[in-house]
């Protein structure tokens, strides 16, 4: 999955470099390239002054020659914007152009300066440039080209300088160039080593930042949220396609002996085939006892490599995170860097604590929900118990609207005691469960069925405008419970007596409502059972209907 943007604006894989500290891929520091341009400007100005003072060239030609020297800076500016291959080529072009200009200057001054003049020292400039750009090899090659050109210039002019003088001057240039070449090689190596060390430090800092950010984000109390943060952080550290799962089975790297499942408390589904690379990587990692790259041998396809890391839980769970590892694209088969592994292990320890806390929190929430359910529901039938029924009645009376009625049906099973005595409590319990199921099918959504205890049940009816729905439900209950029950191999017949009471929903007297429904139920029993009776006071409240006989 793609990683989120870093808070400091640096995306994954980016490193911040100061421009003057960055090495060009040719080995020349950018700061030295800038120095070359400045030296060209200064040297050009000095050459122009010297040409004018000696009268070696007319002013216009002198300006054109120095302008050509300065124009090499344009090539240098273009080179900084090109890729590595073009930069090397343009560096050679700059060196050649500087050499040609210096030889032209030497040619122009040949007949206007004495042999004792130091104007020939300008030959040092391209030689030193070659040494700095390309090290000792560039120093020697540049000197050879310069020596050949200078000898050709001397031969083409008249009078020519003695060969000893030419040799002396070129020897001095060589003696200056060689130490500069060696020193340039050393400095470039030192700068490259410094850059590599800085890059490693920046990458480690970025990894630690990602781990710290991930650690803060994993301090959640939901297992799926923690796993999502773990996957996102692994992606931020340079990996792809992460998975988190629990490894099951005995120790060993035989995939036939292991299996996987989702992390406890997670809602995700995890299922791997026996030859799934993630399973093989996890099994190999557990056998080795540490983070590993699978397969261990080098492979040509970088995307086929998997990195597996344990999340060290404090209990018996063996949780693994796997992710694709493609390296830096240059070292096929390589492992992640030591810094990556170290930071990932640090983050895995944080994630383990967060996962444990989330699982404990989830377990406590489930326990709380279970205890709340047990406190408000009948353990045998799953119906609401007396406590919840009373609480719901009170809640409805507090929130009732004027004109609304609240109704209570009070049920007592006829013949249940005979069943219990004849067939035992186990059959009696099964019968109560079956009765509860039929009662649920008789009521409307929003109505509440409860078991008060023994064979007594109550039903709360809300959103009533008259007593007709209550009479219809009571009739349906009497009919349905009079039908035979098949409990095991036995067919059992019972019936029920129902009492109905109503009250205005706003501020109803709960105790009085239950009492009147109970009294009406006993009237049904006294009048022959298997019927329902409505409390007489409820008739006055509702204004219609009467008892069924």
173: buried, middle or exposed (CB in 10 Å: 19+, 13-18, 0-12)? buried
Q: What is the pLDDT of residue 436?
A: 96
Q: What is the pLDDT of residue 103?
A: 78
Q: What is the pLDDT of residue 4?
A: 40
| The pLDDT of residue 251 is above 70 | no
| The pLDDT of residue 8 is above 70 | no
| The pLDDT of residue 278 is above 60 | yes
Q: What is the pLDDT of residue 32?
A: 65
Q: What is the pLDDT of residue 6?
A: 41
Confidence of residue 300 (pLDDT cuts 50, 70, 90): low
pLDDT, average across residues 322-332: 65
Higher pLDDT, 439 or 205: 439
Helices 84-109 and 124-156 cross at an angle (nearest 10°) of 50
Mean of per-residue pLDDT scores for the chain? 79
> Is 386-542 in the same CATH topology as 223-360?
no
Confidence of residue 237 (pLDDT cuts 50, 70, 90): confident
| The pLDDT of residue 368 is above 70 | yes
- 148-162 per-position pLDDT tens digit: 887 887 787 777 778
| The pLDDT of residue 85 is above 90 | no
pLDDT, average across residues 302-330: 78
- 469-485 per-position pLDDT tens digit: 999 999 999 999 999 99
Q: Where are the domains of the chain?
A: 19-197, 223-360, 386-542
- 86-142 per-position pLDDT tens digit: 777 777 877 787 777 777 777 776 666 555 566 677 777 788 777 777 778 878 888
Around Cβ 161, how many Cβ atoms within 10 Å?
18
Q: What is the pLDDT of residue 427?
A: 94
Q: What is the pLDDT of residue 542?
A: 58
CA–CA gap between residue 491 and residue 24 (Å, rounded):
94
Confidence of residue 289 (pLDDT cuts 50, 70, 90): confident
pLDDT, average across residues 315-328: 82
Coarse DSSP helix, strand, coil percentages of the chain, rounded to the nearest 5 percent: 60, 15, 30
| Residue 494 near residue 483 (C-beta atoms within 8 A) | no
| Residue 51 near residue 65 (C-beta atoms within 8 A) | yes
| The pLDDT of residue 545 is above 80 | no
| The pLDDT of residue 517 is above 90 | yes
| The pLDDT of residue 60 is above 90 | no
CA–CA gap between residue 254 and residue 238 (Å, rounded):
29
pLDDT, average across residues 367-392: 92
Higher pLDDT, 61 or 461: 461
515: buried, middle or exposed (CB in 10 Å: 19+, 13-18, 0-12)? middle
Classify the C-alpha dihedral 217-218-221-227 as positive or negative.
positive
Confidence of residue 546 (pLDDT cuts 50, 70, 90): very low
Q: What is the pLDDT of residue 547?
A: 40
Higher pLDDT, 21 or 90: 90
pLDDT, average across residues 50-71: 72
| The pLDDT of residue 30 is above 90 | no
Tell me how far CA of residue 420 lies from CA of 251, 402, 417, 423, in angstroms: 54, 45, 5, 6
CATH of domain 386-542: 3.30.70.270
- Return the ∠ at Cα 198 (arms to 192 and 203), rounded to 5°: 125
Q: What is the pLDDT of residue 71?
A: 76
Whether the predicted model's global pTM rises above the 0.85 cut: no
Q: What is the pLDDT of residue 440?
A: 95
Q: What is the pLDDT of residue 544?
A: 44
- The closest alpha carbon to 98, from 121, 126, 64, belongs to 126
| The pLDDT of residue 216 is above 70 | no
Higher pLDDT, 537 or 390: 390
Classify the C-alpha dihedral 512-518-521-523 as positive or negative.
negative
pLDDT, average across residues 482-511: 91
| The pLDDT of residue 262 is above 70 | yes
223-360: which CATH topology? Beta-Lactamase (3.30.450)
Q: What is the pLDDT of residue 432?
A: 96
């Amino acid at each position: 999955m793609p990683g989120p943007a870093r808070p400091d604006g640096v995306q994954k894989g980016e490193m911040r470099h100061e421009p003057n500290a960055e090495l060009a891929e040719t080995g020349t520091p950018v700061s030295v390239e800038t120095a070359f341009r400045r030296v060209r400007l200064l040297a050009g100005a000095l050459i122009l002054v010297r040409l004018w003072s000696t009268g070696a060239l007319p002013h216009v030609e002198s300006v054109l020659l120095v302008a050509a020297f300065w124009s090499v800076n344009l090539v240098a500016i273009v080179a900084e914007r090109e890729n590595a291959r073009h930069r090397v080529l343009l560096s050679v072009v700059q060196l050649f152009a500087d050499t040609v200009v210096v030889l032209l200057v030497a040619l122009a001054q040949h007949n206007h300066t004495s042999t004792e003049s130091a104007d020939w020292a300008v030959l040092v400039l391209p030689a030193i440039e070659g040494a700095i750009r390309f090290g000792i090899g560039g120093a020697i090659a540049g000197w050879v080209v310069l020596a050949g050109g200078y000898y050709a210039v001397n031969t083409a002019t008249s009078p020519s300088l003695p060969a000893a003088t030419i040799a002396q001057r070129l020897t001095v240039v060589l003696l200056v160039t060689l130490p500069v070449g060696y020193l340039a090689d050393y400095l470039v190596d030192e700068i490259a080593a410094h850059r590599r060390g800085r890059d490693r430090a920046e990458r480690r800092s970025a990894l630690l930042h990602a781990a710290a950010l991930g650690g803060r984000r994993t301090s959640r109390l939901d297992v799926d949220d923690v796993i999502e943060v773990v996957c996102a952080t692994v992606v931020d550290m340079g990996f792809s396609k992460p998975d988190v799962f629990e490894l099951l089975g005995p120790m060993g790297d035989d995939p036939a002996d292991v299996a996987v499942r989702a992390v406890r408390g997670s809602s995700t589904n995890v299922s791997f085939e026996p030859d799934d690379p993630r399973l093989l990587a996890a099994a190999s990692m557990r056998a080795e006892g540490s983070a590993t790259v699978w397969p261990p041998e080098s492979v040509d396809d970088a995307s086929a490599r998997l990195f597996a890391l344990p999340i060290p839980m404090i209990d018996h769970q063996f949780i693994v995170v796997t992710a694709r590892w493609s390296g830096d694209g240059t070292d096929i088969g390589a492992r992640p860097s030591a810094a990556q592994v170290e930071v990932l292990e640090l983050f895995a320890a944080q994630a383990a604590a967060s996962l444990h806390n989330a699982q404990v929190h989830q377990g406590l929430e489930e326990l709380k929900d279970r205890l709340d359910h047990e406190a408000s529901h009948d353990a045998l039938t799953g119906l609401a118990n007396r406590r919840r029924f009373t609480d719901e009645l009170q809640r409805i009376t507090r929130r009732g609207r004027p004109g609304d009625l609240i109704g209570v049906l009070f049920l007592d099973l006829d013949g249940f005691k005979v069943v219990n005595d004849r067939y035992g409590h186990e059959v009696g319990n099964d019968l109560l469960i079956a009765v509860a199921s039929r009662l649920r099918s008789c009521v409307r959504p929003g109505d509440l069925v409860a078991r008060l205890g023994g064979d007594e049940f109550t039903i709360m009816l809300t959103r009533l405008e008259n007593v007709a729905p209550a009479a219809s439900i009571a009739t349906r209950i009497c009919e349905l419970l009079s039908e035979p029950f098949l409990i095991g191999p036995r067919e059992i017949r019972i019936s029920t007596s129902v009492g109905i009471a109503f009250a205005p929903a706003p501020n109803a007297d709960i105790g009085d409502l239950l009492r009147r429904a109970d009294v009406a139920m006993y009237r049904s029993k006294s009048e022959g059972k298997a019927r329902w009776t409505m409390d007489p006071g409820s008739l006055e409240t509702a204004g219609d209907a009467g008892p069924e006989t």
